[in-house]
Chains A and B, each alone.
Chain A
Amino acid sequence: MSPDRPHLSELATVRAALSDLGQPWQAAETRMSRLSPEWRAARLGVPTPTDQDLSERRGQPEAMAAAALAAHGQSVTAANAPQASLPASFDLRNVGGNNYVTAIRDQGGCGSCVAFGCVGAMESTAAYTHGSPGMALDLSEQHLFFVHAKARGYTCATGSWPDDLFSDCAAKGITFEDYLPYHDNGSGTLNADWPNRLAKAVGLVNLTGDPAAIKQHIYSYGGVASCFVVYNDFFHYRNGVYKHTTEDVAGGHCITLIGWDDADGCWIGKNQWGTGWGDGGFFRIAYGDSFIEDYPGDRPTVFGCTGVNLRAWLPAQRVLRLFATANDANGWAYLQNFGWAHLAGGPHTTTNKLDELTHARASGHAVAPFLDGSELSSVLVYD
């Protein structure tokens, strides 16, 4: 074994343990495997639980796994859900052939994972609740972590908590990636126009410790941010259903849960360690494992939101349908990558917008919409 590649001996140990367990998942040399323990730990941005925290949670994994499985068939009350009861499996990457999950990101060498977990939840929620897989929202983790979280005293080294950061997403909002791109050293300047290119989470929901509620939320609204304990074998995960094979704790981490599979007894997660880790950046983790439904300690650690309000110009797109009624100012447009938007303003401005939109609809010309919540405030028709 090469002394400058110590992870190879780690891998051998993990593989031996997996063999004893019947190969529930596959270990491989990932981009995380090759990092030193210090650089791996730098990516774990949820404060590590104490030994006492962990010991107090004995029995929790089994209870959570049972609760997750028992949720199958449970009635779904949210109007947005595709069906009236929870299915045995669900994956936001393939809902009737549509993908509501944004691309895998890379948090780099900073403990900013909570920002990525929250933003991943918001991006999928925005697309899913609008029924618009093509929305391709790309929000600024940099804004959330290096501006909002920083104001709370959080740094790359301290990590942070999703209750704080998701609250900031709701109260302050975060701008789009192009207004403050992510750099793991925090460099960059926020575009001064950011209040006009903003996403705010609405309907914040604490789902901690309730696997059925987590499923309900994913099914009805989109991804949820969740924290879990990272054991040292997790860095070598390639695919399969992860169950920790060692008790060596590396730290705490936050990701976005995007689905589940009862047949395999697992959640489906979206990580932000690039596509060179895991299954193209995604992973499956056994129900209850690593305390993923309820992180040890006092703080709530699983959050979602029921919607995302945008205030921004969106990319040019087609107008697919228009709707009007006999009443004064009740015009609507169905935008290809947004869904229904109400034409803002009074009857005169509704008339003006309908003039432009009927032209665009009939001719196939694209329109760039400025949206404020579900209100279509401005329209730019492209020739």
Chain B
Amino acid sequence: MTSTGSRTRKPKPDHAPPDVHGITTAATPGADPSTMPPPPPDTLTGTPVSATTMDVSAPRPPQLDPQGISAPAAGWVYGRVITHLWSYDASTGVWAWVDGIGWKRLAPNSEFGHSHMALLATMATHGNLTVDYHEDASGRIDQVLA
């Protein structure tokens, strides 16, 4: 893992609902197809598997830039870049470094869901794609749009 170098503190992530920032829903007629809609409305319809609370004893990734960490958003964050990924030897042990924000753990609600979000985070990192993501009340990423 390499350092991302010095970073400037970003403002607190936006808590605005998904229908702002010029993004319209998929089902919205008239939407420019090149303008990506937000996630489908029933985004949490999967089956939770052994949902856990914040696992404070689990390993945490190395700090890349203390200045780059901000408070949990507990809501949608738009147009961010994931520059690093970190994992440890647990099935739900992936963290993502969000440029300007810091390390964010992918929520461990289920092994499959965790892997699916990791897939999208990997794609975004590899392709330099921006992502929108949603944080739960514990500041963990529980939805990824890439």
Contact assessment for B44 and A327 in the assembled complex, using a CB-CB cutoff below 8 Å: yes
A322-B120, A326-B106 as given contacts; A80 in contact with B28, CB under 8 Å = yes
User: Which residues of chain B have C-beta atoms less than 8 A from A334's C-beta?
Assistant: 26, 36-37
- The answer to whether B29 touches A80 (Cβ under 8 A) is yes
Min Cβ gap B19→A in Å is 11
What residues of chain A lie closer than 8 Å to B129, measured between beta carbons? 361-362
User: Is A326 touching B109 in the complex (CB atoms < 8 A)?
Assistant: yes
| Cα separation A92 to B52 with both chains bound (whole Å) | 48
Among the listed stretches A11-19, A39-47, A148-156, A335-343, which one makes contact with chain B, having 4 or more residues with CB under 8 Å of it?
A335-343
CA gap between A351 and B21 in the complex, in Å: 30
Number of A-B contacts (CB under 8 A): 157
- Give the residue among A132, A222, A337 with the most B Cβ atoms within 10 A: A132
Interface hit among B53-61, B71-79, B110-118: B110-118
* Chain B residue with Cβ nearest A327: B46
Partner of B116, one of A321, A336, A354: A354
> Does the CB pair B28–A322 fall under 8 Å?
no
Asked whether A129 lies within 8 Å of B143 as measured between CB atoms, the reply is no
Cα separation A354 to B121 with both chains bound (whole Å): 12
Interface magnitude class on chain B: 35 or more
Chain B residues whose CB sits within 8 angstroms of the CB of A128 once the complex forms: 29
The answer to whether A336 and B32 have CB atoms under 8 Å apart is: no
A238 at interface (Cβ–Cβ under 8 A)?
no
Across the two chains, which residue of chain A brings its CB closest to B41?
Answer: A79
Proximity bits, A117-140, B CB within 8 Å = 1, else 0: 000000000001111111000000
State how many angstroms separate the Cβ of A234 from the closest Cβ of chain B.
30
Q: Contacts A130-B26, A327-B109, A339-B27 given: A320-B116 contact, CB under 8 Å?
A: no
A358 and B123 in contact (CB under 8 A), knowing A324-B117, A325-B44, A325-B143? yes
The interface residues of chain B lying within 8 Å CB-to-CB of A358 are 119-120, 122-123
In this assembly, does A22 line the interface, its C-beta being within 8 Å of a C-beta of chain B?
no
Q: Which of A82, A130, A324, A354: most chain B Cβ within 10 A? A: A324
Interchain CB contact under 8 A, B113 and A340: no
The B-contacting residues of A in range 79-122, CB under 8 angstroms, are 79-82, 95-98, 100
A351 B115 Cβ-Cβ under 8 A: yes
Would you call B145 an interface residue if the criterion is a C-beta within 8 Å of the partner chain's C-beta atoms?
yes
Interface residues of B in 1-48 (CB under 8 A from A): 24-34, 36-37, 39-40, 43-48
User: What is the distance, in angstroms, from A144's C-beta to the closest C-beta of chain B?
Assistant: 24
Chain B nearest CB: distance from A260 CB in Å?
15
Other-chain contact of B45, A100, A327, A350 (Cβ < 8 Å): A327
- Of residues 91 through 146 on chain B, the ones whose CB sits less than 8 Å from some CB of chain A are 106-110, 112-117, 119-120, 122-123, 126-127, 129, 136, 140-146
Q: By DSSP majority rule, is chain A's interface helix, strand, loop, or mixed?
A: mixed
Please pick, from B25, B48, B119, B136, the residue contacting A324 in the complex, using a CB distance under 8 A: B119
Q: B112's contact among A222, A320, A350, by CB below 8 Å, is which?
A: A350
Q: Are B37 and A330 in contact (CB under 8 A)?
A: no
Q: How far is the CA of A320 from the CA of B106 in the complex (A)?
A: 22
If A321-B145, A322-B123, A329-B46 touch, does A131 touch B31 (CB 8 Å cutoff)? yes
Tell me if A323 and B144 are in contact (CB < 8 A).
Answer: yes
Decide yes or no: A351 and B27 within 8 Å by CB, A328-B47, A334-B37 being known contacts: no
What residues on B are CB-neighbors of A320 within 8 Å? 33-34, 36
Q: Is the CB of B46 within 8 A of A322?
A: no
* A82 lies within 8 A of B28 (CB): yes
The 24 listed contacts between A and B (C-beta, < 8 Å) are A79-B25, A82-B28, A95-B30, A96-B32, A131-B24, A131-B25, A131-B30, A131-B37, A222-B29, A323-B39, A323-B144, A323-B145, A324-B113, A326-B48, A326-B109, A326-B110, A326-B113, A327-B47, A330-B44, A336-B33, A340-B37, A350-B116, A351-B119, A362-B127
Binding site for B on A (CB under 8 A): 79-82, 95-98, 100, 128-134, 220, 222, 320-332, 334, 336-337, 339-340, 342, 347-348, 350-351, 354-355, 358, 361-362
Interface of B with A (CB < 8 Å)?
24-34, 36-37, 39-40, 43-49, 106-110, 112-117, 119-120, 122-123, 126-127, 129, 136, 140-146
Q: Which 10 residue pairs across A and B have the least CB separation, nearest first?
A: A327-B46, A330-B46, A347-B112, A324-B116, A326-B109, A95-B30, A326-B107, A340-B26, A358-B123, A96-B30
